[in-house]
Structure 1
Amino acid sequence: MGIFKKIGVFALTACCVVGGFSACGEEERAVEETIKAVSPKEGKIVVLANDEVAEFAFSYESGYNLAEPYYGKGDHYFMKTLTLEWSAKNPADEYEVALSENANMSNKTVYLAQEESLTLSDLFVNTTYYWQVKGGEDTSRVFSFKTANTPRTIKIDGVSNTRDIGGKATEDGRMVRQGIVYRGGKLDNITPSGIEAFTNTYKIKTDLDLRKEGEGKQGGSPAGEEIGYYNYSCPYYTGGKVGIDCEDNYENLAAAMRIFANADNYPVYIHCSIGRDRTSMVSMLLLGVCGVSVNDISLDYEMSFFSESGCADSATVEQMTGSLATTMAYLFRNSSTTGTFKDACETYLLQIGLTQAEIDAIRQNMIK
């Protein structure tokens, strides 16, 4: 396993640079490869999800309570790391490994490795990555792999039920950005290493707390004074005084949704107490108004049952998925159109007080 450290992010042009990283692959392929990729193989689809999450995600169909077998086992949703391996004809004491989402290696991140391997964590899902290795006088061609379309879970020590809501396809063929909206449980017990991940790994700027007054630690983010903190007591599901269909809840829910219309607030961490119910209402409306399918939104919801906090109240998967389905059905009925779930979410957001400009801003911020 390689010993490495991140040394920066740089922009490149697509031109050839003698002795440096190059994206001019066609000419170089005619030359003997002195550095060859060993793993992953060129173009391979890499599954970052652990075996249980992968099994769940690849077979998922909403309405069938597929998270039931995984319920009540604590936090067992964390992703796997990925190790890049290569072989060098001329071994070097140190290698520079460049990683980019662009074939021309622009906006690359460069790592140092003392062995012929490099282990990476927290990669985006459903993403093609390009990588290139330089050792001594030798530079490899550009290799590639793609990460599978599975949930992108994250690890913040002391916090449960944590994941990125991005990486999902929209109805117009685009994708919700990753690394900008995270969801999870309360931050009350976040540890110093959890704060390090929260602020430096995931670079979260805003703590959106959906709990009611007096429910846990409030008044500021436990992740640090530099984190923007907003607290709006928000509704969940439908029915009675706590539902999203109760007009008394419109103002707070609208205020919470407006956080996402301001690009300066990102990345945002959304949470309630256990990170399943109120958090899922905001997540559902965000993903829905961006054009994500009901099936993918339901899958994201059921991921809560892979966590300790998501099962903390002993509510069954069948009960809670039924509540989500009822809420989605309400949004469809509430809509003045007979269109998609995207239309239904837009109608509801307008109804609770958001403007069309705010909805458009949310989409612009969240969709790539």
Structure 2
Amino acid sequence: MTSVAVQVNRSIRKMESLINFRDIGGLPTADGRLTRTGIMYRSNEPHKLKLKDLDKFNGLDLKLICDLRTPNERKARLPRFVESGKTMTVNVPFYQNDEDYTRFQIYRQIMSQIRTVDFHQFMRDFYRKVLFESTNQIRDVMTLLAEQGSAPMLIHCASGKDRTGIIAAIVQLVTGVPRREVVSDYLLSNPLNKSETDRAIRMLRFLSGFRISRERLLPLLEVRSEYLEEVLDELFARYGSIDAYLMQACQVEEQTIRVLRERFV
């Protein structure tokens, strides 16, 4: 389980309108240290930020916002706050399909295949796509995170659970956080996203004419330990270490990995 220190740290910055917002730091490393807090945050899409949380958000003094959504996902869903000029927003899109669909279009496509689609397998395939087919995007994100002056930073996708969860896991593994702690931290998206999950289930059941149960939809809308564990098993079987994966598969410079490790620990 995550440490009490992590829970305390996250409660300080809690934002009601960004339900999956949290610091990726504060976790113990294998050598007994803690990863730094206040360096990198993760969240669901910031367009949901409301005025009551604006002061907290601006108080983060972000230098970089890394948006993992596709161009169609971003349309009409950009942040409502006005950037101050000191915050750089960079879009590094991770695609769920070969086409750039909005989330609603993806849901409609899934509903059209409701009789045959396996949501559990759909998500497992997506995780493999991110780690083993989106290596250029992972290189670009790691390079951005290591750039001088980019901290504090925020990384987000739509729900802040899958694409964002994978990137957070990579950073945590690079900094020496044990795998069990990484997986526990990844699973925090489920309780944090519960209200949004319930809303999405109601919408999808309506779109399906109530032909699909809540239980069958949950693998699509929750994170599952096996999604992350399976791709990490494959990563370590292929490359032996997270550093080797980043350098060989993603062409990340060794110096970039060194900077990330120094910055976050």
Whether the TM-score (by the shorter chain) exceeds 0.5 is yes
Match of residue 130 from structure 2 = 244
- Mapped to 1, the partners of 2:258 and 2:242 lie a distance apart of 13
Match of residue 233 from structure 1 = 93
- Mapped to 1, the partners of 2:71 and 2:169 lie a distance apart of 23
Shift of 1:223: 3.8
Q: Determine helix, strand or coil for the equivalent of 1:208.
A: strand
- Mapped to 2, the partners of 1:323 and 1:260 lie a distance apart of 24
Report the structure number with the largest CA radius of gyration.
1
- Asked whether the 8 Å contact 1:221–1:229 carries over to 2, the reply is no
- Mapped to 2, the partners of 1:260 and 1:318 lie a distance apart of 26
- Mapped to 2, the partners of 1:206 and 1:218 lie a distance apart of 21
- Mapped to 1, the partners of 2:254 and 2:90 lie a distance apart of 23
**Which residue of 60, 63, 70 corresponds with 1:212?**
70
Please give the TM-score of this superposition, normalised by the length of structure 2.
0.72
Q: 1:305 to 1:159 in 2, by over 3 A?
A: same
In structure 2, the gaps of 5 or more residues are: 97-122, 202-216
Number of aligned residues: 215
Shift of 1:245: 4.2
Q: Determine helix, strand or coil for the equivalent of 2:224.
A: helix
- Mapped to 2, the partners of 1:180 and 1:214 lie a distance apart of 29
Q: Determine helix, strand or coil for the equivalent of 1:361.
A: helix
In structure 1, the gaps of 5 or more residues are: 1-55, 59-124, 127-148, 338-343
The percent identity for this pair of structures is 25
**Which residue of 120, 142, 145 corresponds with 1:257?**
142
Higher strand residue share: 1
Q: Please say if 1:350 is aligned against 2:247.
A: yes
Shift of 1:162: 1.1
**Which residue of 307, 310, 315 corresponds with 2:192?**
307
- Asked whether the 8 Å contact 1:183–1:279 carries over to 2, the reply is yes
- Asked whether the 8 Å contact 1:161–1:304 carries over to 2, the reply is yes
Match of residue 235 from structure 2 = 331
Higher RCO, Cα 8 Å, sep 6+: 2
- Asked whether the 8 Å contact 2:49–2:79 carries over to 1, the reply is no
- Mapped to 1, the partners of 2:223 and 2:132 lie a distance apart of 21
Higher helix residue share: 2
Please give the per-residue CA displacement for 1:318-367, whole angstroms capped at 9, x wherever unaligned. 872211111111111121x4xxxxxx211111120110001001111111
Please give the TM-score of this superposition, normalised by the length of structure 1.
0.53
